Chain A
Amino acid sequence: MFTPNFRYKEGPAFYLLVAAGGLVAAIGVAAAYYMEHMGHIVTNMTNQIPWALPHVFAIFLIISASGVMMVASIGTLFGKNVYKPRARLACLLAIALLAAGLSVIMLDLGRADRLPVALTHLNPTSEFGLNIIFYPTFLTLTSLYLWTLMEPRMNRYSKTVDLANLIWRLMLTTGTGSIFGFIVARQAYGTAVLAPMFIISSFAWGLAIFLIIQRVLYGWSNMVLDPAVLKRMKNLLGIYIGAVFYFVSVYHLTSEYYAKQGDFEHFILIDGGIFPMLYWGGFVLLGTLLPLLLIFHPRIWPKPGAVTTAAVLVIFGALCHLYVLIVGGQAFPMEIFPGMTATSSFYDGAIEHYVPSLPEILLSIGGFGIVFTIAIIGARVLNVLPQDDIAQLKASGSLTD
């Protein structure tokens, strides 16, 4: 029999949260329906920029789905007791994020009605094709792992299942990075560093989302997270933020080193209008430096909301970074004839300007609505709320002040 989680306050809070998330999700689906009905002519995606805002959000959500599971693995596989009670919530979020990311990318398809064709055909040389295997298997392993956590008789298998899932996730995110890493046509892509960059990014973004949802659930149930636990988690987020910045820097420096890529890097980092602004202002300042300050400044981080704000900023920075990579990578003209300047009615040689249209924005944000709705309903019906036995953690030496 289903037993609702009694810790949460009964009353309108649950319904309000679900209604808010559901409304955002429903608006996203309505926008997708409008795009499907009218055609992509109602978007600002073009033959020059075929992938844009929905892809930025979808890739963010899918990568974060893989990364949030690290919260679980740190407990189950690496034996860190502070993270063990958080494994169930991590599973729920992974499922929610994957469902949302796939929804956004599929609803953006020109012919979403033909999805069964993609599901029943396998092209092993296509990263998209391989994802037909990667994503459902990830979903299955995560659900299986959640079962091993929730069913006492299955507990002894949780480590094995999580190890399999960890390996699978690394392959999955390598694959997602390789969607771009294997594109040799454009100057922005075609580099192997994208795969590890996506993997480390997944850890940071997944943890940031986890911290935000954990904060919402604790607020909803009138609980307070022990500062010592928060300290452990925010320190890890700080390390991840630094690692992401390192990989993104290596990506740009590698690109800058090759003379043929110099113009592209100049465009993306200096004179490309919105792109340098999003890179330096969005990713570096707001998405990296400010969160690091909020996380590591001894007087700032203990203040209420400091770590949550840092997590929100990390997500904002992540979206800016992906926007620069994905949209900026297409806005810079593809070099079809090296050593020559090209002009044509198809905008060869021209820098593209893209501003997302309303349906694209609504569909993209709808993805967050899907995550939120699944997370809230899941937290209501499943016992996933992290609950710490602080005294025991301190006694066992797993937690220090």
Chain B
Amino acid sequence: MSDSKNTRRGFLAASATMAAGLGFVAIAPGIRLIEAASAQGKLASSKVRYGLLIDSNKCKSDCDACVGACATENGIVEKVANPRQRAQWIRKINLVETSTGKTHSLPMMCQHCAKPPCVDVCPTGASFKRADGIVLVDRHICIGCRYCMMACPYKARSFGHQALTTQNPEVPRGQGCVEACTFCVQRVDRGLKPACVEACTNGAMIFGDLNDPNSDIYKRIREVSSRQVRADLKLDTGVRYQGI
């Protein structure tokens, strides 16, 4: 009797081990992806707050080097018949002040809010904010409901309207998911600047840690008058603008 019990226990234990093993094999690819997304094996630190300062005075209206660099770095080169369905992670906006006629040109992208509405509304947790302030979309659990696109006050998000074949292996993108500027997280985690910042030869973009007193952006933000777009919403954006 006890033998048969032991056999049954043994069988149950072996089954449980096998099930756990299978479960690990099934989940493991996901774990690997999360690891790859974190800072080269290190977790993003909440002591860091990545931000970007854009000087619209230095941004030329006929220059879109930042847009091209973003497309190359992140593999956004697909052709879409309807241009309104084309993804744009960064775009140049030309502005004219209604009262004075003064013109401005500046790049607009995800503002990497400290209190991002996209994260608030996301039903699956696909929209998330890293500890270092970078707002991302987990392309593996986004269900494509587009609620975040409705909620974003900066129109910073695009939807994958068609199947893609031009992805950069480091930048997962796909049909049916929402996507946006990642601050080139794959570069930042290697200690590099985002592609747009590196491509800006006019020196209109400063990227860095808003919390680090030794960083250029920290010093510059204290020297000049800068503003957050739609500051009335109190989203505490990581991207700041100077000159508007």
Choose one: B94, B157, B162; the contact of A39 (CB below 8 Å).
Answer: B162
Determine the residue in chain A with the shortest Cβ distance to B158.
A47
Q: Which residues of A contact B144 (CB under 8 A)?
A: 109-112, 114
**Is A258 interfacial (CB 8 A cutoff)?**
no
Q: Which residues of B contact A39 (CB under 8 A)?
A: 160-163, 175-176
**Is B141 interfacial (CB 8 A cutoff)?**
yes
Q: Could you tell me the dominant secondary structure of chain B's interface residues?
A: loop
B229 touches A183 (CB 8 A): no
Known interface pairs A40-B176, A46-B82, A343-B93. Does A117 touch B153 (Cβ–Cβ under 8 Å)?
Answer: no
Interface range on chain B: under 10, 10 to 19, 20 to 34, or 35 or more? 35 or more
Q: Which of B90-108 contact A (CB under 8 A)?
A: 91-99, 104, 108
Determine the residue in chain B with the shortest Cβ distance to A127.
B121
Choose one: B87, B92, B141, B157; the contact of A344 (CB below 8 Å).
Answer: B92
B143 touches A336 (CB 8 A): no
A132 to B122, CA, bound (A): 12
**Could you say which of A70-78, A93-101, A198-206, A345-353 contacts chain B?**
A345-353
Determine the residue in chain B with the shortest Cβ distance to A105.
B145
Q: Least Cβ distance of A27 to chain B in Å? A: 22
A interface residues, tally (CB under 8 Å):
50
From B88, B95, B141, name the one whose CB has the most chain A CB atoms within 10 angstroms.
Answer: B95
Q: Which residues of B contact A342 (CB under 8 A)?
A: 93-95
A368 to B187, CA, bound (A): 49
B98 touches A346 (CB 8 A): no
**Is A340 interfacial (CB 8 A cutoff)?**
yes
**Is B24 interfacial (CB 8 A cutoff)?**
no
Determine the residue in chain B with the shortest Cβ distance to A339.
B98
Q: Which residues of A contact B125 (CB under 8 A)?
A: 121, 123
Q: Least Cβ distance of B76 to chain A in Å? A: 12
Known interface pairs A41-B81, A183-B151, A340-B96. Does A51 touch B146 (Cβ–Cβ under 8 Å)?
Answer: yes
Q: Which of A26-52 contact B (CB under 8 A)?
A: 36, 38-41, 44-48, 50-51
Q: Least Cβ distance of B69 to chain A in Å? A: 16
**Is B155 interfacial (CB 8 A cutoff)?**
yes
Q: Least Cβ distance of B33 to chain A in Å? A: 15
A51 touches B121 (CB 8 A): no
Known interface pairs A110-B142, A111-B144. Does A344 touch B159 (Cβ–Cβ under 8 Å)?
Answer: no
Residues 323-357 of A, flagged 1 when their CB comes within 8 A of B and 0 if not, give 00000001000101101111111111000100000
**Is A126 interfacial (CB 8 A cutoff)?**
yes
Q: Least Cβ distance of B196 to chain A in Å? A: 15
**Is A125 interfacial (CB 8 A cutoff)?**
yes
**Is A395 interfacial (CB 8 A cutoff)?**
no
Q: Which residues of A contact B126 (CB under 8 A)?
A: 117
A346 touches B154 (CB 8 A): no
B143 touches A46 (CB 8 A): no
Choose one: A40, A126, A348; the contact of B120 (CB below 8 Å).
Answer: A126
Choose one: B93, B98, B117, B162; the contact of A185 (CB below 8 Å).
Answer: B117
Determine the residue in chain B with the shortest Cβ distance to A40.
B161
Determine the residue in chain B with the shortest Cβ distance to A354.
B84
A112 to B143, CA, bound (A): 6
A64 to B158, CA, bound (A): 31
**Is A223 interfacial (CB 8 A cutoff)?**
no
Q: Least Cβ distance of A163 to chain B in Å? A: 29
Residues 172-198 of A, flagged 1 when their CB comes within 8 A of B and 0 if not, give 000000010011111000000000000
**Residues of A near any B CB (own CB < 8 A):** 36, 38-41, 44-48, 50-51, 109-112, 114-115, 117-118, 121, 123, 125-129, 131-132, 179, 182-186, 330, 334, 336-337, 339-348, 352
